[in-house]
Amino acid sequence: MRYQLRDEQGATRSVAYLMLAAAPVVFLTGIVLPDEHPVAWVLAISLTVLFMGAGGALSMWRPRTLPRLFWLILPFVAVATIAGLNIASRDVAAGSQLFYLWPVLYTANFLSHRVTAMILAMVSAGHASVAFPVLGLAPGLADWISVTVALSLTAIVVASLRNRNDRLRAVLESQALADPLTGLANRRSFDDELDRSVTWARESGEPLALMTVDIDHFKTINDTWGHGVGDQALQVVAACLRTVARRDRDMVARLGGDEFAVLLRTDRLSARRAADEVRTALVAVDGLPCGSPGLSIGIALVPDHALTAEELRAASDAALYEAKEGGRGRTAMAHPPAPRQKVSAPG
């Protein structure tokens, strides 16, 4: 069964606290307080207490020793245990039904909506199996509806809050990884993707191109036209760079100031063509008071010019420097690295 365990650390703590707290409560209410102590009942309660104590201890101090499936099965075991104890003791009091809150809250907070629905159905069936025989049809139906509705509403509220928190977290993560002015990926996001992409290129044998882009004379644009126009120029360049990032894993990033990077899963010829397309798109832009800004672009590829992320970045930066030294407004391709000389062992 496919499921998603959210916040594994929070889930393990939840299980640990619940089981360690529930073990003495079950021992007290199941063995110490009752007047009668049938052997079978005492044995069942003792085994339940041992299971809770051991499970709580492992969840608290050795969670990695438990299989991942444990966190999915546990709420079903909890519901079955609670229902079994209620049936055996013929207990329909509100206090005994409150124990169902834990598996409901656990699944609504840490597992999928499908698992939560299954747990609610199981809780409803478990309570019906004791409410109707003990209370009779009419009172049992009223009690069963009350418990089922109350726990279902609790699950809905918790799941809604969880979904809202997920959306807020996604927004915060997006903001943390995006440049606020252009909406492009920022340096942190780019560095992570560069490492992943270089690993992919080396393992797959496919080419990977890195274009490093600077706006020519950007300081002059700011000094002459003001920072507002400079920001517009940055946004226009960002939009033009986006047009060549057509594949799912291509990335355009603003590294800072007027420096951009474009990561393309393509070969040398297509990378150079992409640089030309960016220039063509930029020339066609109207409305910038400063006119269409020029670009200097350096291109390097894996495996032609580098085999690691640092080597690729250095090769692309060197090509960009060459483009600037050549008069700006140019595209320069990195040079193949010098062959590594083998050092022979002394004879």
- Torsion angles phi and psi, residue 253, rounded to 5: -135, 150
* 317 part of the active site: no
Q: What are phi and psi of 184, to 5 degrees?
A: -75, 170
Name beta bridge partners: 210.
263, 300
Residue 39 is encoded by which pair of tokens? 């052997």
Which residue among the candidates 143, 179, 258, 304 is catalytic per the annotation?
258
- How far apart, in Å, do the first and last CA atoms of the chain sit? 64
Cross-sheet strand order for the sheet of 208-215 = 251-256, 259-264, 208-215, 295-302, 331-333
Nearest to 295 by CA among 323, 262, 318, 273: 323
Contacts of 191 (CB under 8 A, 6+ apart): 309
HSE toward the beta carbon, residue 276, CA cutoff 13 A: 7
Q: Which two tokens stand for residue 332?
A: 């320069």
Task: Give the residue from 62, 52, 61 showing the smallest Cα distance to 26.
Answer: 52
Are 215 and 237 contacting, i.e. CB atoms less than 8 angstroms apart? yes
Check if the beta carbon of residue 254 is closer than 8 Å to that of residue 260. Answer: yes
Residues 6+ apart with CB under 8 A from 15: 55, 56, 59, 71, 74, 106
Residues 6+ apart with CB under 8 A from 281: 240, 243
Residues identified as active-site: 258
